[in-house]
Structure 1
Amino acid sequence: MTDALIESAKRAAARQAVADHFDPRATHVGIGSGTTIVYVVEAIKEVATDPTIRFVPTGYQSRQVIIQAGLTPLAFDSLPPEVILDIAFDGADEVDQDLNCIKGGGACLFQEKLVAERARKFVCVADYRKKQDRLLTKWPTIPIEVAPIAVPTVLADLRILGSPNPKLRTTLLEKSGPLKTDQDFFIIDAPFPSLLIAADVAAGKGKGDGSDGTWEVNRLATAIKELTGVLEVGIFSGLNGIEAEAIRQKEGGKTVVTGGQVPVAVYFGMQDGSVEVRVKE
């Protein structure tokens, strides 16, 4: 497929996702990073009539996209604590059949996770290349944001967890050194075998805890996040925003609920110009 057809697929998915989920009455909207999000903002600009809407970016690039569209950005750390984003739009590097995502190919994952978890619902927009049954099918590695001083330790720990050759990501101009995130952290890219979903473990396809060389999505995300020096893991798994809010309501705000990482829907722009929507079964 040509680059033009891939970009057309991204635009089609973005326009459909915005048509289905953007509410012009929204007050706060999260805007992720990456090439697909340019088309999301383009579509929002056509239907957003309220100049008081604030758009919360996940990093420098998405902030510039918001500004260039004539919309009003608001830094995540300027959000009042009681404000929940009406919706967040973002892309992904790969999505499995349970809507778990790998993100961070563009080195922006920590702020993307902050924004996704702060939203009532997260909607993912991608092209057909990102549509897989299991994570790490075509996308080769899990991006991990790490404190620079901890890189050697985390690389060694990842090998113990079963990653055969984790590597520190460098800039395109290698002599410039490691690539830095918006937090001035580094990125490690860690390959693992294709990740199981919960149904695979239930069906006896692997233990999913690393002991037999297999990892289930949530278990691996937790194992990596627990490594000292890791700021965040580029696996978005667990609850979606609607599920997380239901638990908060049930617990009466007395329990910290880490959720909203999983999209409520993923829009894939396909080769033939159509859009496929994947939702939780």
Structure 2
Amino acid sequence: MTGELSPIDKAKFVAAKRAAEFVEDGMRVGLGTGSTAAWLVRCLGEMVREDGLRIRGVPTSTRTGQLAREAGIEVITLDEARWLDVTIDGADEFDSDLNLIKGGGGALLQEKIVATASDQMVVIADAGKEVGTLGAFALPVEVIPFGASCTRTLIEETLVSMDVLGRQVSLRMNGDAPFMTDEGNHILDLHLKRIGNVRQLSLVLNQIPGVVENGLFIDICDTVVIGYGDGRVEVRDINEGTVEKGRLDFVESDNLFSDLAD
């Protein structure tokens, strides 16, 4: 089946397959949201069914929870887990310091809570997600529906004094209605093009009334696993300062990943 995948999906698959090696028997694992994280969930599900791996997963969205249950992974809440051994998730962008933009899938709040409640955060991504400076991908900001237009105005006014190239703000839509997060909130996408000072921007955004959380993940990611379309995998550990390079061979599977080439 993997022979039919596009290079980008092959890259996601090998990154997820390599990242699954961070998971050990008995661990409490944060399960990310998005197409790359979905590969991981299916890889872990295969390990549960075929290798007897015993883990408990804490999903970062309702759709990840459903996928994990379908894959045979025991799902618990973060309150039940209390703390996690590792969280593995995707990213929309990452830089050389392993700062991230996340939230393209609309689950940034739960993703950030779960990631910061973990001993380790591992990000899985295809090589195209690496950037010199964050900001080409629109920065999601989760806001409560009450007074959302006022919150948007405050954000737009705040961006004037920030070190960014663009200041366009758009309300994320789902058809004709605003997109709703699992918490019932809206998402404003900030089209900034380049973010000069990610720490300052994150701090200032979260001080605006009505803002719940933003999609900048700073000093949270410990390791990034980068997949390439030809099977190469690179593992960078920001704490150890190490870079490990390898290659994973594609193994044909009848239906394990057939519904994840998205």
TM range (shorter): 0.7 to 0.9
TM-score, normalized by length of structure 1?
Answer: 0.76
Aligned partner letter, 1:41: V
Alignment partners' CA distance in 1, 2:44 and 2:5:
23
Change (3 A) 1:219 1:56: same
3-state SS, counterpart of residue 122 of structure 2: strand
Structure with more relative contact order (C-alpha pairs < 8 Å, separation 6 or more): 2
**Could you tell me how far 1:275 is from its partner in structure 2?**
1.4
Matches within 5 A, 1:1-281: 4-19=6-21, 21-26=22-27, 28-48=28-48, 53-79=55-81, 83-136=82-135, 138-139=136-137, 141-162=138-159, 164-171=167-174, 173=175, 175=176, 177-196=177-196, 216-238=197-219, 262-280=220-238, 281=241
Alignment partners' CA distance in 2, 1:93 and 1:37:
12
**What residue is the counterpart of 1:246 in the other structure?**
none
Asked whether the equivalents of residues 32 and 57 of structure 1 are also in contact (C-alpha less than 8 Å), the reply is: yes
CA RMSD after TM alignment? 1.8
Asked whether the equivalents of residues 150 and 228 of structure 1 are also in contact (C-alpha less than 8 Å), the reply is: no
Asked whether the equivalents of residues 94 and 103 of structure 1 are also in contact (C-alpha less than 8 Å), the reply is: yes
Change (3 A) 1:66 1:170: same
Alignment partners' CA distance in 2, 1:47 and 1:271:
23
How many residue pairs end up in the alignment? 228
Asked whether the equivalents of residues 101 and 139 of structure 2 are also in contact (C-alpha less than 8 Å), the reply is: yes
3-state SS, counterpart of residue 146 of structure 2: helix
Asked whether the equivalents of residues 167 and 188 of structure 1 are also in contact (C-alpha less than 8 Å), the reply is: yes
Aligned partner letter, 2:110: Q
Alignment partners' CA distance in 1, 2:18 and 2:75:
23
Alignment partners' CA distance in 2, 1:132 and 1:276:
16
Asked whether the equivalents of residues 41 and 66 of structure 1 are also in contact (C-alpha less than 8 Å), the reply is: yes
Aligned partner letter, 1:152: S
Aligned partner letter, 2:183: Q
3-state SS, counterpart of residue 149 of structure 1: coil
Asked whether the equivalents of residues 99 and 278 of structure 1 are also in contact (C-alpha less than 8 Å), the reply is: no
Alignment partners' CA distance in 2, 1:133 and 1:270:
18
**Could you tell me how far 1:3 is from its partner in structure 2?**
6.4
3-state SS, counterpart of residue 187 of structure 2: strand
**Could you tell me how far 1:53 is from its partner in structure 2?**
2.5
Aligned partner letter, 1:110: L
Alignment partners' CA distance in 1, 2:94 and 2:78:
25
Alignment partners' CA distance in 2, 1:74 and 1:55:
6
**What residue is the counterpart of 2:258 in the other structure?**
none
Alignment partners' CA distance in 2, 1:271 and 1:46:
22
TM-score, normalized by length of structure 2?
Answer: 0.82
More strand by share: 2
Change (3 A) 1:230 1:25: same
**Could you tell me how far 1:193 is from its partner in structure 2?**
4.2
**Identical aligned pairs, as a percentage?**
33
Alignment partners' CA distance in 1, 2:53 and 2:226:
29
Asked whether the equivalents of residues 218 and 237 of structure 1 are also in contact (C-alpha less than 8 Å), the reply is: yes
3-state SS, counterpart of residue 173 of structure 2: coil
Aligned partner letter, 2:127: Y
Change (3 A) 1:123 1:165: same
Alignment partners' CA distance in 2, 1:112 and 1:271:
26
Alignment partners' CA distance in 1, 2:212 and 2:5:
34
